[in-house]
Amino acid sequence: MKTISENTCFDGTQGVYSHASTACDGDMTFGLFLPAEAKEEKVPLLWFLSGLTCTHENAMTKAAAQGWAAEHGIALVFPDTSPRGEGVADHDDFDLGQGAGFYVNATQDPWAKHYKMWDYIADELPALLAEKFAIDPERQGITGHSMGGHGALTLAMTLPGRYRSVSAFSPISNPIDSDWGRKQFTAYLGEDESTWAKHDASKLMLEKGFDGPILIDTGTKDQFIDLLRPETLADAISKRRQQATFRLQPGYDHSYFFVSTFIEDHIAFHAEALWS
């Protein structure tokens, strides 16, 4: 593992690191904020999965999360959204290829060699963090924005017992019925739609649900709300009678101005679960 940078931040450390990834067959970069408490003991970890076109840096610099995490003594990890580099398949469209890994394991060429983002987030990076940093693997929560909200919800419902809490900002809630999903799933997973449902938060909610609290925020002025399909997830939550807080925030759009406005609520929500 290589240290790219480390900066003092709210009496803790905001670092950026790279490492050779077996899952993605190449170098991957992530940001990690460690609060001051990590100098003395292992601390809980909150994952922030970012959306389309983002790197590890977007949420790290725009979400205004570190101060609230420091207040609660929680670490934050900001993974990249896809493999990158020379030889990694890409596409001219912004919503496919590098920056658009969709948190799945691709099975189709030319994506299958590198695009194993599910394995990277579910297995490889957690193991690295627990080995190299003062992280308590028994106390994890997960959140994300847009494509990252999709990833957070699907990982949480598919890995029971892994995360104590899950939240999402403007998640892609029903990708198998949206152009933000059908396009990518066809490319990464193939034409067999029976393989897609395990990556759809609305379908997983009906089938599995989540054994813990859920918080979801979406802006009513989100310019992509028709692609996000929040109503489908809200309906699934209602039908399952899942413990959840689902909020439509009046006037807010899809930007990090929206995320930074409500990040305090989300970190406090996770802190309650992680420190209980």
pLDDT class for 181, splitting at 50, 70, 90? Answer: very high
pLDDT class for 258, splitting at 50, 70, 90? Answer: very high
Give which of 235, 210, 230, 211 is closest to 219, Cα–Cα. 230
pLDDT class for 191, splitting at 50, 70, 90? Answer: very high
Mean pLDDT, range 14-37, rounded to an integer: 98
Percentage of the chain exceeding pLDDT 90: 100
Q: How many domains does the chain have?
A: 1
**Apex CA 82: angle with CA 78 and CA 83, to 5°?**
115
178 catalytically annotated: no
Domain that holds residue 57: 2-274
Among the options 114, 145, 150, 254, which is catalytic? Answer: 254
Cα distances (angstroms) measured from residue 85 to each of 63, 187, 255:
26, 19, 27
Query: Computed from CA positions of residues 205, 200, 74, 23, in that sequence, does the dihedral angle turn out positive or negative?
Result: positive
Among the options 80, 200, 217, 222, which is catalytic? Answer: 222
Q: Report pLDDT digits (tens) over 37-62.
A: 999 999 999 999 999 999 999 999 99
**Cβ atoms within 10 Å, residue 215:** 20
CA distance 188 to 183: 9
The answer to whether residues 7 and 14 touch, using CB atoms and an 8 Å cutoff, is yes
The answer to whether residues 227 and 172 touch, using CB atoms and an 8 Å cutoff, is yes
Q: Report pLDDT digits (tens) over 115-164.
A: 999 999 999 999 999 999 999 999 999 999 999 999 999 999 999 999 99
Average pLDDT of the chain, as a whole number = 98
Give pTM, 2 decimals.
Answer: 0.98
Write the DSSP symbol of residue 22. Answer: T
Q: What is the CATH number of the domain that holds 60?
A: 3.40.50.1820
Mean pLDDT, range 83-90, rounded to an integer: 96
Cα distances (angstroms) measured from residue 255 to each of 163, 202, 208, 221, 248:
26, 23, 30, 10, 15
CA distance 124 to 34: 19
Mean pLDDT, range 99-108, rounded to an integer: 98
Give which of 101, 51, 43 is closest to 72, Cα–Cα. 43
Q: What's the pLDDT at 117? A: 98
Among the options 146, 170, 173, 202, which is catalytic? Answer: 146
**Residue 216 region by backbone torsions, left for phi larger than 0, else alpha for psi between -120 and 50, else beta:** beta
Give which of 157, 27, 139 is closest to 103, Cα–Cα. 157
Strand partners, 202: none
Mean pLDDT, range 232-258, rounded to an integer: 98
Tokens linked to 275: 């420190």
226 catalytically annotated: no
Q: What's the pLDDT at 224? A: 98
254 catalytically annotated: yes
